[in-house]
Amino acid sequence: MAKKGGPKKGADKGKQQVKKEGKRLSALYNISGDSIERKNRNCPKCGPGTFLGKHKDRIVCGKCQYVEYVKKEVKKEVTESKDSESSDKPAETKKE
């Protein structure tokens, strides 16, 4: 019987895979004296012991897939907008 198509076994033997390093425990905890604090929040559904992972725009539980989206903060500089408005208007003179 003829073999079906697909990738040939042993074709990728020359390539080496790069293994990612995981987070270290020191990145998850603050240790000061006799007290230990957790840096990340706990999952509200799973309870203590399950951390929420921080991403760019959300916070996610890896166990139950609970998601909280983080709102982006928009900073507006008030001084620039006031300066641009005052330069657009003609100067007013007082009439007596």
Tell me the three-class secondary structure of the chain, residue by residue.
Answer: CCCCCCCCCCCCCCCCCCCCCCCCHHHCEEEECCEEEECCCEECCCEEEEEEEECCCEEEECCCCCEEECCCCCCCCHHHHHHHHHHHCCCCCCCC
Q: Is residue 20 part of a domain?
A: no
**With 90 as the cut, is the pLDDT of residue 91 above it?**
no
Position 39 confidence tier, pLDDT thresholds 50, 70, 90: confident
**Residue 4 within any structural domain of the chain:** no
pTM, two decimal places: 0.46
Number of domains in the chain: 1
Range of the domain at 59: 41-75
